[in-house]
Amino acid sequence: MTDLKGKVALVTGGSRGLGREMVLAFAAEGADVIIASRKLDACAELASEVGERFGVRALPVACNVGVWDECDALIDAAYGEFGRVDVLVNNAGMSPLYPSLTEVTEALYDKVFATNLKGTFRLTALVGERMAAGAGGSIVNISSMASLHPDPMFLPYAAAKAGMNALTEGFARAYAPTVRVNTIVCGSFRTDISKAWTPEMFELVGKQVLVGRVGEPNEIVGAALFLASDASSYCTGTHLRLDGGFR
């Protein structure tokens, strides 16, 4: 039921971390893929790997999703190459560290919201409208447990992801019944964000979740394939927690 042959999937933040794992999983299920991130070289490298391993088409596109015009250009490139997008994954995100709440600059705050929320809104609107006018599709937003349990050390990020959760439900209503919009609410994964963590932070995460450890990037694949494919045909406007049993 997770077969994606003949489908086209667009993944933002797709060149590394969770995005890379989802790109590989979709391609393995037969989907052509559009790999978007700010670094074209990284996207192109993964696109080459995808084509060689799975024999599907892969389009690399440089895009800063926090910039409205670049979102528009990404969608133009996707539809120009493939004529359709069946799966959109809004995965691009960022959560920079800061010394204190009073030292969060306006530039940092705006950048966090642009990357995690503004881009999701624009891309979902552009793709969702075309999906609804055509054969439908699936949109998957990658949120965070921070949206449900905000911590002072990543408060702008938490607020932006909470906004993403709201977009999921709103867009699900806007483009029903043929377009499904869902969220994966992620716990802590061993991605680029975790590179700045101390051993104590990893230990703390292990104590906070029932499985006792940080998630590995490939552990997002099952949830992503479920929501992207017909396996979740009766699922929309929902938030799937993928957090290792946060307690």
Structural contact between residues 202 and 212, judged by C-beta atoms closer than 8 angstroms: no
**CA 11 from centroid of its chain's CA atoms:** 7
Helices (H), the chain: 17-28, 40-54, 68-82, 106-113, 119-133, 155-175, 199-208, 221-228
Q: What is the mean pLDDT of each run of 10 residues along the chain (247 residues)?
A: 96 97 98 98 98 98 98 98 98 93 97 98 98 98 96 94 98 98 93 72 81 93 98 98 92
What residues contact 154, with CB distance under 8 A and at least 6 apart? 95, 146
Residue 234 burial by Cβ neighbours in a 10 Å radius (0-12, 13-18, 19+): exposed
Question: What is the predicted pLDDT for the residue at 155?
Answer: 97
DSSP 56: -
Question: C-alpha angle with apex 184: 177 to 114, nearest 5 degrees?
Answer: 90
Which 3 state secondary structure label does DSSP give 116?
Answer: helix
How far, CA to CA in Å, does 137 sit from each of 25, 126, 147, 203, 208? 18, 13, 25, 40, 35
Question: What is the predicted pLDDT for the residue at 205?
Answer: 78
The encoded tokens of residue 144 equal 């965070």
Q: Hey, which residues are catalytic here? A: 157
**CA 190 from centroid of its chain's CA atoms:** 15
Which 3 state secondary structure label does DSSP give 141?
Answer: strand
To the nearest 10°, report the CA torsion of 71, 75, 78, 82: 170
Question: What is the predicted pLDDT for the residue at 196?
Answer: 65
Structural domains present in the chain: 8-242 (3.40.50.720)
Rounded to whole angstroms, how far apart are CA atoms 136 and 113? 28
